[in-house]
Amino acid sequence: MKNQINDIKNQALEEISKADTLKKIENLRVKYSGRKSELTNVLRGIKDLSVAEKKEIGEFGNLTKQAIDGELSKKELQIKNEELKNIDEKEKIDITYPGEKFAKGHLHPLTQVRYDIEEIFKSMGFLVVEDREVEDEFHNFDAMNMPKDHPARDMQDTFWLKNGYVPRTHTSSVQARFMEKNKPPLKIISLGRVYRNENSDATHESNFHQIEGLIAAKSGEVTVANAKSIISEFMKGLFGKETKIRLRPSYFPFVEPGFEFDASCPYCKGEGCRICKQCGWIELGGAGMVNQNVFKAVGFTEDEFEGFAFGFGIERLAMIKYGIDDIRLFHAGDLRFLEQF
Ligand code: PHE
């Protein structure tokens, strides 16, 4: 009987040492220490033994049960500690650990520049207006003093739609649209997309953005000097207070006289650098006194009003402001570029 008990003990201790979950410990407790366990079963036979044997085997049996129970408890504690340690490892919070950085969205650089431009002009009392991107021939060309056979039409490569409409080639069409409904005095800017049928390269895209400006009032009330100071304020607001501007004579059919505008290079302040191609000035856009034919096209009497108009490419302004050398980056959707703004 002693041997039987010893075998049970050895088997129990071996199985306990291998157990690695609380569930297994629980099962072993039932198997080796519970009321229906093998050991209890064997010990039931004691009643048939002699008194001396009863004492000896009884004691041995008790010690064995204690040993098994002891091992079970020890192992149980060990497993519990192990589990707690794992939870600690997994759920440990280190409050000194730097927080996770969330990627925050932001406005596209072109939109940022667009808002900057709008703010500058609003502060000078301009109204911001918008109009359609698909124009009829009249508003895009004829009303801008570019009738069908006018050679100036070749200045702008045009996408023609089958129905005779055009994705507007410039925002100047908004001048005509606005003056059909509003008589001078007026001060407006209009920003939006324009389309030209040209191949794209580092400085050209078939789809880009322009800002158009128009000031008109009774004849004699608007001069080139007013316009120059407004554009100068605009450039200072966008590129910094020290920015200078200059006008050069140029030709656009919808203005007379016409100019091209340059700003002093915001990088080298006129010294000459990579951005301004060593000349110290950067060409920005066109401007001029509104041609009387434009006023006539929208139904005004010749010489009743006088005005000044200007137009700039927004991409070009953004490229200079941020030192970007390829216009195609704006629409490429490359996050490595966009995340820099
Ligand atoms: N519409 C002209 C262009 O797209 C720019 C311009 C606007 C020039 C207003 C003069 C006056 O090139």
pLDDT digits 0-9 by tens, 79-116? 999 888 888 888 888 888 888 888 889 999 999 999 99
* Ligand 1 in reach of 173 Cβ (< 6 A): no
Q: Which tokens in the block code for residue 22?
A: 């609380």
- Please, are residues 244 and 251 in contact by the beta-carbon 8 Å criterion? no
Query: Are 146 and 59 in a shared domain?
Result: no
Strand bridging mode 186-195 / 127-129: parallel
Q: Give the pLDDT confidence score for residue 172 in this predicted structure.
A: 97
> How many domains would you assign to the chain?
2
Query: Are 251 and 224 in a shared domain?
Result: yes
pLDDT at residue 191 is higher than 90 = yes
What residue owns the CA closest to ligand 1's atom 10?
287
- Please, are residues 109 and 322 in contact by the beta-carbon 8 Å criterion? yes
Query: Are 38 and 125 in a shared domain?
Result: no
Query: Are 18 and 159 in a shared domain?
Result: no
* Ligand 1 in reach of 286 Cβ (< 6 A): yes
User: Which of the 8 DSSP states describes residue 204?
Assistant: B
Does 21 fall in a domain?
Answer: yes
- Please, are residues 212 and 178 in contact by the beta-carbon 8 Å criterion? no
Does 222 fall in a domain?
Answer: yes
pLDDT at residue 166 is higher than 90 = yes
pLDDT digits 0-9 by tens, 256-270? 999 999 999 998 988
Does 212 fall in a domain?
Answer: yes
Query: Are 24 and 73 in a shared domain?
Result: yes
Over residues 268-278, the mean pLDDT reads 88
**What spacing in Å lies between the alpha carbon of 240 and ligand 1's midpoint?**
24
Query: Are 254 and 203 in a shared domain?
Result: yes
Ligand 1 pocket test: pick from 139, 153, 155, 170 the residue with the most ligand atoms within 8 Å of its Cβ. 170
Q: How much of the chain, in percent, has pLDDT values that exceed 90? A: 65
* Ligand 1 in reach of 121 Cβ (< 6 A): no
- Report residue 222's pLDDT band, with 50, 70 and 90 as the boundaries: very high
Q: Give the pLDDT confidence score for residue 149 in this predicted structure.
A: 87
Residues in CB range of 84: below 8 A, 6 or more apart: none
- Report residue 62's pLDDT band, with 50, 70 and 90 as the boundaries: confident
Q: Give the pLDDT confidence score for residue 217 in this predicted structure.
A: 98
Where does a domain end: 65, 91, 117?
Answer: 91
pLDDT at residue 73 is higher than 80 = yes
The minimum-distance atom of ligand 1 relative to the CA of 259 is 10
Does 101 fall in a domain?
Answer: no
Provide Rg for the chain, Cα atoms: 44
The minimum-distance atom of ligand 1 relative to the CA of 213 is 9
**CATH number (domain holding residue 163):** 3.30.930.10
Does 29 fall in a domain?
Answer: yes
Query: Are 48 and 114 in a shared domain?
Result: no
pLDDT at residue 274 is higher than 90 = no
User: Which of the 8 DSSP states describes residue 183?
Assistant: P
Query: Are 201 and 277 in a shared domain?
Result: yes
For residue 315, what are the domain limits?
Answer: 109-338
Ligand 1 pocket test: pick from 254, 283, 293 the residue with the most ligand atoms within 8 Å of its Cβ. 254
* Ligand 1 in reach of 174 Cβ (< 6 A): no
Q: Give the pLDDT confidence score for residue 132 in this predicted structure.
A: 97
- Identity of the amino acid at 216: A
Query: Are 66 and 113 in a shared domain?
Result: no
User: Which of the 8 DSSP states describes residue 154?
Assistant: G
**What spacing in Å lies between the alpha carbon of 197 and ligand 1's midpoint?**
17
Where does a domain end: 62, 91, 120?
Answer: 91
pLDDT at residue 12 is higher than 90 = no
Helices (H), 103-212: 109-123, 137-140, 173-181
Does 13 fall in a domain?
Answer: yes
Q: Which of 82-86, 107-111, 172-176, 187-191 is the least confident region? A: 82-86
- Report residue 165's pLDDT band, with 50, 70 and 90 as the boundaries: very high
Query: Are 76 and 120 in a shared domain?
Result: no
Q: Which tokens in the block code for residue 332?
A: 């490429």
Query: Are 162 and 244 in a shared domain?
Result: yes
Q: Which of 34-48, 98-112, 128-142, 287-301 is the least confident region? A: 34-48
Query: Quick one: which of 307, 306, 305, 309 has its CA closest to 287?
Result: 309
Query: Are 84 and 131 in a shared domain?
Result: no
Q: Give the pLDDT confidence score for residue 277 in this predicted structure.
A: 87
Distance CA 248, CA 245 (A): 10
Does 97 fall in a domain?
Answer: no
Over residues 48-54, the mean pLDDT reads 85
Does 324 fall in a domain?
Answer: yes
Where does a domain end: 91, 124, 146?
Answer: 91
Mean residue pLDDT of the chain comes to 92
